[in-house]
Structure 1
Amino acid sequence: MKPHIVMISPALANANNGNWQTASRWANFLRQRHAVTILPSNDPETWSSIDKPDLLVALHARRSAAAMEALRERYPDVPSIVVLTGTDLYRDIHVDTSAQLNLQHAGRLVVLQEAGLQELAPAWREKACVIHQSAPSLKPIGAACKSRMPRFEVCMIGHLRAEKDPATFMQAAALLTSPGIRLTHIGGALDAELAAMAEATAAAHSHYRWLGSLAHDDVLHHLRRCHLMVLTSRMEGGANVIIEALMCGVPVLASNISGNRGMLGEDYEGYFAVGDSAALAQAIARAAADSVFYKRLAEQCQARAFLFTPEREEAAVQQLVDNMLNSKSTNRNPFP
């Protein structure tokens, strides 16, 4: 019989966000050799009905905390892994007791980029590892083909919520005066004020459009056709959209935060200060007009892409899970 792994996720398929993409991808990796069940973090009825698993894997320290506490109380000898995916790493574990207890009781912790380790207290860091997320390599649309497009296409991918700071992207659109640039925002309206702002920006500036939430395949279709992808977030654990852009051959402009530096490298030249819409507008205009700058961004992104291959992520996930299951069967400590 295959070992049974229960994954606790704050998002399921209908959310179409980073947490769901991580849960789905890891489950697909593990189902080759394990039985995997994904449970929502907000449904106590499903926690109480689950048979004893061999391993617990939780995404997001705070949002999975109640489920993990209930399952650990019911099955105290089952080992657990907590994956820190975003706001939990850069906010919750510093202020939220339930998130802190979740990390304390976990056998192993996972962060999604190297800079994330610095957010952990020494005792937590000892049992933490880095597993970079991944995306399939999609054949990039060639530079020659893109050069014949009528516009320089720039996209932002992310739901409209405060942590993603979409207002900076909209404000940059209002500041852009360079002709031939189009800004496209893809993401669902999770904040009514930001949705109203997006509609007002689109009405006032014809080079900005908001497409709302799209299916993942449609998102990738738009991304592949872009010259540039923008990420304005105020906090990120390890953004899937950065990986997808790199695997599509699309350079990135990103807010200068720890989570983005951990993905793109400290020396990346495509950062702008958080909330600085003028700097973002200037960088977009420069990328559209300065081929040397644009080529440099593309080369730096290409140099990081090897970190985010599915083969690399799958090997790391399988090794982590094997170590946890082996430590359970031999009663060994799963980390040095």
Structure 2
Amino acid sequence: MLKVALITPARRGSHAGNRTTATRWAGLLHDLGCRVRVAQSDGDADGCRLDGQPPDLVLALHAVRSHAAIRACRAAFPACPLVVVLTGTDVYRFQHSDPEAFLDSLAASDALIGLHDCLAEDLPPRCLSRLHVVHQSALPLPPRAPGPIRRSFEVLVAGHLREEKDSLRAALAVRDLPSTSRLCVVQLGGAHRPEWAEAAREEMAGNARYRWLGDLPRWRVRQWMARARLMVISSRMEGGANVVSEACVAGLPVVASDIPGNRGLLGEDYAGYFPVADTAALRALLCRAEAEPAFVDRLRRQVLARAPLFSPAAEREALVRVIAACGLTV
């Protein structure tokens, strides 16, 4: 039975993407017959032992935030294959702001995992032979019960409020629309910093088309996904957002910023992109979606065409390929 240590910088109970990925992968690996220990990256290598024994494989999420744990595991378990999972902030921020830690984690790895198809564009060429893409999976939403026809055209934004997500862009895009427009934005997710919470409250006070509901449990987020007409992903950088996978599997049309992390999940020919931080372009797309049902149907067909990439079986098979590349079997 393969013993796997999964390292994540996110604490137990966190709704952060790194913790969600670690929890889901722990379940997939358990289904494959592995024994799995999820450890926080602020601990030492002893936290990765299973019943006092060294792991057979270490999977570390986040090259920079888990850098100390990666180095500790490489020193404590020199014969143990080590896989580093690259996040958006790794590749699109820390590679430039903290290149020493980033490149050191890459050098310590036996294999790398990226979560979208365009990641190779932004990695050092010498690393590409070790790169494997694992698309994050999602489960279908439960069937939606019939209900009253809603007059509003609800646009959903789901994710922590933070700079990388450009979180208030959709709210800005629906300001000052004509009174005939039915567009409104519902935002879900906790504020990464107090100033983001204050900014969201200020926006609600001055923008009747915007509501921020804060950090909700997963089942409530899925309820909102089932009722929304459209989802906006406005991020400045993404490593492969699981919410995009969920939208595709749910058949929820997406309007997304034109960045590698979105193109690497939705495809180069997707019709719903807008330039990063371009409020006017986003407003135009949202107004088009409200006015043209055929455009929304086109986006829905495109996301559904991508949905097979994000099945649990496909994600599990991709993990098996990474394990095999490390010379191990499950």
TM-score norm. by structure 2 comes to: 0.93
Aligned counterparts, 1:287-302, within 5 A? 287-302=289-304
Aligned length: 325
Bigger drift between 249-258 and 92-101 goes to 92-101
CA contact (8 A) 1:227 1:250 kept: yes
Question: Aligned to 1:195, which of 190, 194, 197?
Answer: 197
Alpha-carbon deviations, 1:267-288, whole Å to 9, x = none? Answer: 1110111111121122112111
How far the C-alpha of 1:45 sits from its partner, in A, is 7.9
2:14 equivalent to 1:15: yes
1:52 maps to 54
1:165 matches 2:170: no
1:26 aligns with 2:25: yes
Give, in whole Å, the separation in 2 of the partners of 1:107 and 1:150.
54
Name the structure 1 match of 2:311: 309
Equivalent pair of 2:45/2:69 in contact (CA under 8 Å): no
Counterpart among 234, 239, 243 of residue 237 in structure 1: 239
Partner of 2:155: 154
3-state SS of the aligned residue for 2:168? helix
Displacement of 1:46 after TM fit?
A: 5.4
CA apart distance, 1:15: 1.8
Partner of 2:108: 105
CA contact (8 A) 1:186 1:214 kept: yes
Tell whether the 8 Å contact from 2:175 to 2:209 is kept in structure 1 after alignment: no
Is residue 94 of structure 2 the alignment partner of residue 92 of structure 1? yes
Deviation string, structure 1 residues 148-167 (Cα, Å, up to 9, x no partner): 22211111001111101113
What is the deviation of 1:140? 5.6
Q: In the aligned structure 1, how far is the partner of 2:209 from the partner of 2:24?
A: 35
Match runs of 1:203-242 below 5 Å: 203-242=205-244
Cα pair distance change 1:220/1:48, threshold 3 Å: closer
1:249-299 C-alpha deviation (Å, 9 max, x unpaired): 110000111110111111111011111112112211211111111111111
Q: Which residue of 1 aligns with 2:39?
A: 39
Listed as ranges, the gaps of 5+ residues in structure 2 are none
SS at match of 2:204: helix
Structure 1 unaligned blocks of 5 or more = 328-336
SS of the residue 2:238 aligns to: coil
- Compute the displacement of 1:88 (Å): 0.5
Q: Is the 8 A contact 2:5 2:48 kept in 1?
A: no
Share of identical aligned residues, percent? 40
* Secondary structure at 1:133 match in 2: coil
Is the CA contact 1:146–1:225 (under 8 Å) kept in the aligned structure 2?
Answer: no
TM-score (norm 1): 0.91
TM alignment of 1:44-83, pairs within 5 A: 44=44, 47=47, 51-83=53-85
Aligned partner of 1:248 in structure 2 is: 250
Contact 1:9–1:59, Cα closer than 8 Å, also in 2? yes
Distance 1:253 1:86, change over 3 A: same
* Partner amino acid, structure 1, of 2:102: A
Instruction: Tell me by how many angstroms 1:199 deviates.
Output: 0.6
